[in-house]
Amino acid sequence: MFSRLVLLFSLLFVPATQGFAQIPMGEASTAKEGLDIGVSTNEIAITSDFRGADLTVFGAMTNADELLLAIGNYDIIVTLEGPRDYSTVRKKERIFGIWINTDSMIFEQVPESYSIASTRQLDDPTQLPPINTAGVGIEHLALNPIGYIRDVGELSDFREAYRRLKLSSGLYQKEASGVRFVSSSLFRASLRLPANVPDGVHIVRAYLFKSGTLLTQREIPLRVVKTGLEQAITDAAHNQPFAYGLVCVLIALVTGWGASIVFRKD
Amino acid sequence: MWIKHLHALFTRHVRHFPTTAPDKRPIACRMRLFCFALSGSTVTIYLPIAELSVNIFIILGMGAAVGFLSGMFGVGGGFLITPLLIFYNIPPVVAVATGANQVVASSVSGAITHFRRGTLDMKLGTVLLAGGLVGATVGVWIFSWLRSIGQLDLFISLLYVILLTTIGLLMLQESLRAMRKAKLNQPLPLRRPGQHNWVHRLPLKMRFKKSKIYLSAIPVVTLGFLIGILTSIMGVGGGFIMVPAMIYLLRIPTNVVVGTSLFQIIFVTAYTTMVQAATNYSVDIVLAFILMVAGVIGAQYGVRVGQKLRGEQLRALLALLVLAVGIRLAIGLFIRPQDLYSVAVGGIGY
């Protein structure tokens, strides 16, 4: 852990000193801004008492223009994207008094979970310059339906419902002020992983914006794994379903049989 | 009327359940302790297949409560466990498959008792089972198909509403009539099952020695088949329907009915558990184990309370309970959902 921290800080400060070396030459505007990030951990374990987890992402801007930095023209967005899969959204309608799923739409390869933290409010139009590039943010995630769509208005309804449901389930999260500058170029982002976070490889992405335009981005994989017994059970259930089913039945038989012995009167 | 029989049969077998070394504290006191333990703590446990964290005490409480009721009323409890799990936000897919697994445990001890006492017709049970296994296979197909078109939750709820309200109303009517009669001190007229009906004119007759009956295999296999479908779609054992059908439709002697149905239930629920595990990966062993352990313990206390109550009062209570669960599910179907949309991970044919 300590060695990792040392590594992280050397990572942060070495490019920064290089940057300073160039500033006195009066060429700060031509040097390209860079971004480096590090994560507090690269693996999150889902244990039997898992109730969600916090993830801290550290990062540093390099070659930042001091003036633009001072007036807050740089923006940083950090996202944590879950594994991608197809997603089906269904809509209920009332038929004979009963609410029945009548319509559905399948979106291709969308992240199962998505957390976003940023230096300022993303969808606030009063704050300039606006940031909405590169598909960053829950509102800009690509939601491409599969198959024939009869009605475009319907499509936007389904997209809107998808985002709303994901947000309310906690799988999608936005933290407007989740990114804080620790010093002029060093920042820290806090992301929250919900208790129902899917396991698999997640991707931490950091984006650097200058005056609302995307300059550069960095990404680091983060593995979310079920540990110990949970992992063994999930693996068994999916890889050896027959043996798993057999064990389930045997446990039930032994429990029932055991109870009839334990609670026998004689 | 059939319910009276059913109850008498069930209680007979349940009362044979021996009870634990007596805990001298009154039951109410122990219940209070239990409730205290329930309210104060939030120890979560992660269910690996359902993929969510739950409060272990709520699951234990559910298992114990259903076990208690199943001991008290002499029923399997699958029809209560599955809706309760659904109310507690366990995905219906997991609730049904896990419910079937739990029924295996709760039926085993009863079946052992009947086997020892010789009130189990193996041959009849095997014929029922043959139908049951086919039914369960078809049921799992229907289950997977309904899941892929997004109508599974609705279908499970609908089946439960229909079954629970019908049975609940029948039982309530019967027990109220019995209570009125008991008040007037009239002896209950015990209607003897008639000797023959259309079922007995069917071909393919077989002799079942233990039951001392000569009966066509067709209605037996059909009954097993239908119960098998219910097992895999609803996660119940189906004794609730099978026992009265065996008595009143097939005219099987009442002394072998419960044992034989339990025999069929064990194998069909075990088979359903296997098939669900293999096709839908939806049996949660952690959830099932907690329910089983709590259930078998709860049943012991339930039996004792059941012995103190009068038969018709007991049946009226059970009827009200069954009705309440059915109505609760029905309300869920009719009121406008908070959100008309729902999201599921996966695309076509998941």
b vs e for B45-70, b when ≥16 Cβ sit within 10 Å of the residue's Cβ?
bbbbbbbbbbebbebbbbbbbbbbbb
Burial letters A54-74, b for 16+ CB under 10 A, else e: ebebbbbbbbbbeeebeeeeb
Q: What is the pLDDT of residue A251?
A: 93
- Helix H segments across chain B? 2-15, 27-40, 56-73, 78-87, 92-117, 122-148, 152-183, 217-234, 239-248, 254-279, 285-308, 311-334
Task: Report the pLDDT averaged over residues A153-170.
Answer: 86
Tokens describing residue A180: 């804080």
CATH 2.60.40.2550-classified regions of chain A: 2-226
Amino acid sitting at position B265? I
Tell me, which fold does domain A2-226 have in CATH?
A: Immunoglobulin-like (2.60.40)
Top-confidence residue, B221 or B5:
B221
Residue B15 confidence (pLDDT):
37
Q: Does B293 touch chain A (CB under 8 A)?
A: yes
Say which of A51, A146, A234 has its CB closest to residue B48: A234
CA A77, CA A120: separation in Å to the nearest integer? 9
Structure tokens at A209: 């914006």
- φ and ψ of B180, to 5 deg: -65, -45
CB within 8 Å of chain A, chain B residues 93-132: 101-102, 104-109, 112-113
Degrees, nearest 5: CA angle B299-B80-B157: 170
Q: Which residue in A88, A237, A253 is closest to B344 by CB distance? A: A88
Segment B102-106 mean pLDDT: 89
Q: Please judge whether A48 and B46 are an interchain contact, meaning their C-beta atoms are less than 8 angstroms apart.
A: yes
Q: Does B146 touch chain A (CB under 8 A)?
A: no
Tell me the C-alpha distance between B134 and A153, whole Å: 46
Look at B41 and A262; give whichever has higher pLDDT.
A262
Asked which of B85-89, B173-177, B197-201, B245-249 is least confident by mean pLDDT, the reply is B197-201
Mean pLDDT in residue range B73-99: 87
- Amino acid A160 reads E
The pLDDT value recorded for residue A253 is: 92
Q: Which of A51, A249, A265 sits opposite B270 (nearest CB)?
A: A249
CA–CA min distance A175, chain B (Å):
23
Q: What is the pLDDT of residue A122?
A: 65
Cβ contact, residue pair A255, B154, below 8 Å = no
Residues sharing a CB contact under 8 Å with residue B325, sequence separation 6 or more, in sequence order: B79, B80, B83, B84, B160, B164
Q: Is B294 exposed, middle or buried (0-12, 13-18, 19+ CB in 10 A)?
A: buried
Highest mean pLDDT among B45-54, B81-90, B179-188: B81-90
| A30-39, A255-264, B108-117, B186-195, range with the lowest pLDDT | B186-195
pLDDT value for A131: 62
Q: What is the CA A146 to chain-centroid distance, rounded? A: 24
Q: DSSP readout, chain A?
A: -HHHHHHHHHHHHHHHHHHHHHGGGT-TTTSPPEEEEEES-SEEEE-TT---EEEEEEEEEES--HHHHHTT-EEEEEEEE--EEEEEEEEEEEETTEEEEEEEEEEEEEES-EEEEESS-SS-TTSSS----TT-SGGGS--PBPS--S-HHHHHHHHHHHHHHHHHTTSEEEETT-EEESSSSEEEEEEEE-TTPPPEEEEEEEEEEETTEEEEEEEEEEEEEE-HHHHHHHHHHHHSHHHHHHHHHHHHHHHHHHHHHHT---
> How confident is the model at residue A151, as a pLDDT?
74
pLDDT of residue A170: 83
Question: Does residue A129 have a cis peptide bond before it, meaning omega lies within 30 degrees of 0?
Answer: yes
What confidence category does residue B136 fall into, taking pLDDT thresholds of 50, 70 and 90? very high
**Distance from C-alpha of A34 to C-alpha of A16, rounded to nearest angstrom:** 10
- Return the bridge partners of A202, or none: A222
Interface test with A, best of B285, B300, B307, B339 (most A CBs within 10 A): B285
**pLDDT tens figures, A165-224:** 888 888 888 876 788 888 878 889 888 888 888 888 999 988 888 877 788 888 899 998
CA distance B66 to B89: 17
* Residue A124 banded pLDDT, cuts 50, 70, 90: low
B18–A263 C-beta distance less than 8 A: yes
The two beta strands, A74-81 and A43-46, are unpaired
Give the model's confidence band at A145: pLDDT under 50 very low, under 70 low, under 90 confident, else very high.
confident
Nearest CA in chain B to A99: B333
CA B183 to mean position of chain CA atoms = 31
pLDDT band at B126 (very low <50, low <70, confident <90, very high): very high
Q: Where are the domains of chain B?
A: 2-334
Is residue B261 within 8 angstroms of chain A, CB to CB?
no
In this prediction, residue B19 carries a pLDDT of 38
pLDDT band at B32 (very low <50, low <70, confident <90, very high): very low
Task: At B71, list the tokens.
Answer: 């001991």
User: Contact A242/B300, CB-based, under 8 Å?
Assistant: no
Residue B177 has a pLDDT of 86
**Region A145-163 average pLDDT:** 81
What percent of chain B has pLDDT above 90?
23
What is the pLDDT of chain B when averaged over all its residues? 79
